[in-house]
Each structure stands twice: as structure tokens, then as C-alpha cells.
Amino acid sequence: MNKIGYFSIASGSSGNCSLFFCGDTIILIDMGVSVRKLNNSLSSLGLTVDMLDAVLITHEHTDHIKGLSTFAKKYNIPVFMTKGTAHAVLQKIPHAKDIIHTFIGCESFFIKSVQVKSFLTPHDANESVGFILNCKEINFGFATDLGFIPLNVKNMLSKCDFVVIEANHDIDMLKNNEIYPYKLKQRVLGNYGHLSNVACAECVVDLVKNGVNTIVLAHLSEKNNTPVKAARYINQMLFIAGLKCDLFVAPVNEMEKPIFFEMEMDKCLALG
């Protein structure tokens, strides 16, 4: 695969896993699916797990590391996470210690030709992070699982061409959810919880004003949001601001096709 692109394997409260590729460098972001599911999804792209160069983990919650235990037993592929995340992960998956490589939140490092810049995110996890991946003058931002967007994070994402950002819940749907207890609702709505459609839209408008041309809405709650509701609200706010961009919603399961970066046109297109 000699292109630059992004592919979501799973996105939502039940599991998160996605793929960034640039030429011969292939990076998995989060491992919140089974190894079988990962193999099947990669196979649909003509890839295998052995072709992965690394895995980046945002934080230790189950929907982001669900498949890591089996993955660590079967493969010797480096898995990068913060020291805080590693401390939490190794309490659950001690046998993963041989493939875990740690870094400090806000640290930068390289995976082959791709520069990885991490940034801390406000979430109820142990040193959770998002990432900016730079390859061939393309900047790709990844920011999910955060209760609000700190100014430094927004500034970093504003320099990207392509951003994956959380649109976790519709506030009214969450408040009216009869299954969620009050404490859980407050956790999701809090500064260390998840981004609502409203908060996401406010950030997206600022990002597009600064030149971000492609947005993927991710980590939608299956119980407190819908793809139509999220996309409609963000598009409405962009329209009011007189802005437009290529907007996608990452589905619960894998995308129908990857989103490839078209370097000559300096924009992103969904290609088969």
C-alpha cells in the first residue's frame, strides 16, 4: 500500500481501533477489538497483522485495549503507550510487558518515516493521550476520549490537514437515557468524560477556519447518539459559520473503504 490514508476498524463505546498508513509504514491506533476481528478487517485491505509496524494506545479503558492480551501472546509488534497507561495496562495484562514501549505524554518519537507527536487529554484515565502523525507533509490528528478540548490541543489540531475527533453523545439523548444511572451521566458530561456533539462542533468550526479540510467524527455512543444526528449538527454549525469541509462519520464497525490522502490535490478523497 503506497498511499497515505486512514481506515476505521471499530469506533464507539464497545470498541475502538483504527489504521493510519503512509507508504510502507502502517500504524494501528488502539486495540479495542478481538485479534480475529483485526485480522478480518486487515484482510479486506490486503494486509496482515504481521505488516503492522506499531500500535499506539491512547489509554487503558477496555474499549481501547480489549484485544491486547491475545495480541501480545501472538505477535511481537511494538505497542507504544504512556508510562501512566502502561502502569494500568500491565496490572491487567502483565504478559504484554515485552512488547510495550513507553513514552511521556507530550513526547514525540518516530515510527519509521512517521513522526508521532503525543498530547495529554482530559479523561478519567491514567495519562491518556491523543496523537498528531506527520508523514510526507501531511498532518493527521487523532483526538478521542476527552471531556473538553484544551487550547493547546486545539492549536495542535488546527495545524492538521485531517482530524479524527470525538462526537460521543447528544446531550438530550444522554440526559433522557433511562438506563444510565445519574453518576454515569455526570461522568460522561464532565470535564474528564467525553465530547458532546455541541462541544465537537465548536471545535470543528475553529479547526476548519484554520484550514483543516477533512474531519472524521468518532467514538459515537451507540446509546446516546446517532451518526445522522452528529453529522447533521456539525454540518449545520459549519453552514452557519459559512464553512465547509469533507465530513465523515466512523461507523461502529469498519468503514466501507479507506480515506486516502491525495497529495497532488492537497486534499483527501474517499477512494475504493
Q: Reduce the DSSP state of residue 248 to 3 states and report it.
A: strand
Per the DSSP assignment, residues forming a β-bridge with 248 are: 216
Q: Is 81 helix (H, G, I), strand (E, B) or coil?
A: strand
**pTM of the shown model:** 0.95
Stated as kind and residue range, the H or E segment containing 165 is strand 162-166
Residues 25-84: pLDDT tens digits?
999 999 999 999 999 999 999 999 999 999 999 999 999 999 999 999 999 999 999 999
- Quick check: 135 pLDDT over 70? yes
Q: What are the angstrom distances between the C-alpha of 227 and each of 7, 16, 113, 240? A: 17, 16, 34, 20
Q: What is the pLDDT of residue 262?
A: 64
The residues, any chain, with a CB within 8 Å of residue 245's CB and separated by 6 or more, are 204, 208, 212, 213, 214, 215, 238
Domains in the chain, start-ordered, CATH in brackets? 1-103 (3.60.15.10), 146-251 (no CATH)
**Distance between terminal CA atoms of the chain?**
13
Question: Contact at 8 Å (CB) between 151 and 127?
Answer: no
Amino acid 122: pLDDT:
98
Judge contact between 106 and 118, C-beta under 8 A: yes
Tens of pLDDT along 157-200? 999 999 999 999 999 999 999 999 999 999 999 999 999 999 99
Cα 41 vs. chain centroid, distance in angstroms? Answer: 17
Q: What is the pLDDT of residue 136?
A: 87
